[in-house]
Amino acid sequence: MRIKDYHLGYYFFLITVLVLGIFAVWRLSPNKDLQMIAFILLSIVYAVIGVIHHFLDHDLVGKIVIEYILIAVLGIAAAFFIFKGGFGI
């Protein structure tokens, strides 16, 4: 039960942070540079929160750290692609 509560708390925290990030990006419109910076910061925070979560779960290994970093970078790359105008179409 305590473990379940802990995970619920973690997901509540994660979703709150991400929703705040969406709000920040929306509010920073139309300054795309600041929007991009906010998005990069959010992706970093996501990776850090994920890694901390695994650390607290005592199952943190190097592979997991790389995985969170890659997923965060994938998000940044997707946003960057749109930010730069994608294929130009």
Query: Smallest distance from the beta carbon of 46 to other proteins, in angstroms?
Result: 5
3-state class of 10 per DSSP? helix
Is 42:23 a contact under the CB 8 Å cutoff? no
Taking the complex as a whole, the smallest distance from the CB of residue 23 to other proteins amounts, in Å, to 10
Residue 72 near residue 43, CB atoms below 8 Å: yes
Q: Report if residue 89 touches other proteins, rule: CB under 8 A.
A: yes
Residue 38 per-residue DSSP state: H
> What is the pattern of x (binds other proteins, CB under 8 A) and - over residues 17-56?
-x--xx--xx--xx-x--xx--x--xx--x---x--xx--
Q: How far is the CB of 8 from other proteins (least distance, A)?
A: 12
21 in Cβ contact with 38 (< 8 Å): yes
Decide: 17 and 49 in contact? Cβ < 8 Å. yes
Binding site for other proteins (CB under 8 A): 11, 14-15, 18, 21-22, 25-26, 29-30, 32, 35-36, 39, 42-43, 46, 50, 53-54, 59, 61, 63-64, 66-68, 70-75, 77-89
